[in-house]
């Protein structure tokens, strides 16, 4: 991972000692989110093996639909971009309670809800069954697991007790394995091994024991502190990683954040950087980069840097590492997850609780 940082308006401020203090990190991260982030590598292996013996209910699907919300939905986004180069059929992500009209017996439907009680995903499951589809369910339990067992449909049960956003590999890897078995892409076991090993190695490089001077995740957290983080992917292939950064900053760091992707933002959002009145809150830009982005993407990013991002307090390039696409996108995700937790520590907020989400979920809901 290479994170190149540029700070507008002079040299960077000295880093506070808080991120190099195990006591301070443990005091703020009282619920242990950091330890969960550092386990993403082993979770990849565990998530892959969780789907062993699960066979797709459709031999030759005409489409694949992944239903999930929040932390359980990002796996669908990742599946979509990972399968795009080879999948012979469309892969569609649904974040809501309504399925496309084309869903039917020949559609491979995935229902992903870590808790098993996500209202929208439960509703999608009912609609899918009514349309003649046999959903594949990935969950840790809840009503979704109960309904699936009653229906006799394929069920992948993953370990419980985590925040959904901390369980991403448990939710993504079964999707990849089953999609490959359904002919929607090549076999991914070697990719899973590479990604698991790489993330374990990277966790050793970026963990809290590594001092700030040698830890780019800590340094980037400091660059983002007190600003509105704006996360851009240099190409659509890494847009799910940018979305993941944004949502992790929301939930872990408790800050607003923005995400987008080149080349689309070069046709609209870049104009929002111009004009009076746009400096009410300082903004920091993070651009997620990958070796497959290509020269056209490089040109767009550099043009935006010189023409649009002049008002940014800082601009940082974060490059993926690894060989396969799965490992590379997970390297970006791990780095962003760590940045979000380190920023939470700098802000003095426990990254785990999400009180507002919990309050919203307590409202009356459909049965």
**Hey, which residues are catalytic here?**
251, 267, 361
Tokens of 100: 């496309």
Give dist(CA 321, CA 116) in Å, integer: 33
Alpha helices of 189-294 — where are they, by DSSP H? 189-206, 216-224, 239-251
Residues 6+ apart with CB under 8 A from 280: none
Pairing verdict, β 314-319 and 2-7: antiparallel
Contact 261, 242 (CB under 8 A): yes
End-to-end CA distance of the chain: 46
Report the number of secondary-structure helices (H) and strands (E) in the chain: 13, 10
134 three-class SS: coil
231 three-class SS: strand
Q: How many CB atoms neighbour CB 289 within 10 A?
A: 22
DSSP 8-state class, residue 15: P
Beta strands in the chain (DSSP E): 2-7, 63-67, 91-94, 107-113, 136-139, 155-157, 228-233, 258-261, 283-289, 314-319
Pairing verdict, β 228-233 and 283-289: parallel
């Amino acid at each position: 991972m290479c994170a190149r940082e540029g700070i507008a308006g002079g040299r960077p401020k000295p880093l506070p000692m808080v991120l190099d203090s195990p006591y301070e990190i443990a005091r703020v991260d009282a619920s242990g989110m950091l330890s969960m982030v550092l386990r993403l590598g082993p979770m990849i292996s565990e998530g892959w093996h969780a789907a062993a013996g699960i066979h797709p209910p459709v031999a030759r699907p005409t489409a694949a639909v992944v239903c999930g919300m929040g932390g359980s939905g990002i796996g669908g986004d990742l599946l979509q971009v990972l399968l795009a180069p080879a999948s012979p059929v469309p892969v569609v992500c649904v974040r809501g309670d309504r399925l496309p009209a084309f869903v039917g017996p020949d559609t491979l439907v995935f229902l992903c809800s870590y808790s098993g009680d996500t209202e929208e995903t439960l509703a999608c499951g009912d609609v899918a069954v009514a349309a003649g589809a046999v959903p594949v369910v990935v969950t840790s339990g809840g009503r979704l697991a109960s309904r699936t067992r009653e229906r006799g449909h394929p069920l992948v049960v993953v370990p419980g007790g985590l925040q959904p956003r901390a369980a991403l590999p448990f939710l993504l890897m079964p999707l990849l394995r089953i999609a490959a078995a359904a002919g929607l892409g090549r076999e991914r076991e070697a990719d899973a091994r590479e990604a698991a090993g790489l993330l374990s190695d990277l966790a050793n490089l970026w963990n809290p024991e590594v001092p700030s001077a040698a830890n780019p995740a800590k340094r980037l957290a400091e660059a983002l502190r007190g600003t509105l983080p704006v996360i851009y992917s240099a190409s659509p292939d890494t847009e799910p990683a940018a979305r993941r950064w944004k949502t992790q900053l929301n939930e872990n760091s408790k800050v607003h954040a923005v995400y987008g992707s080149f080349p689309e933002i070069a046709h609209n959002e870049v104009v929002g950087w111009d004009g009076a009145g746009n400096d009410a809150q300082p903004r920091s830009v993070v651009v997620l980069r990958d070796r497959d982005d290509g020269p056209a993407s490089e040109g767009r990013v550099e043009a935006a840097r010189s023409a649009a991002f002049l008002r940014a307090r800082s601009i940082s390039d974060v490059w993926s590492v690894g060989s396969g696409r799965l490992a590379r996108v997970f390297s970006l995700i791990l780095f962003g997850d760590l940045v979000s937790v380190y920023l939470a520590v700098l802000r003095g907020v426990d990254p785990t609780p999400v009180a507002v989400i919990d309050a919203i979920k307590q409202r009356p809901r459909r049965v």
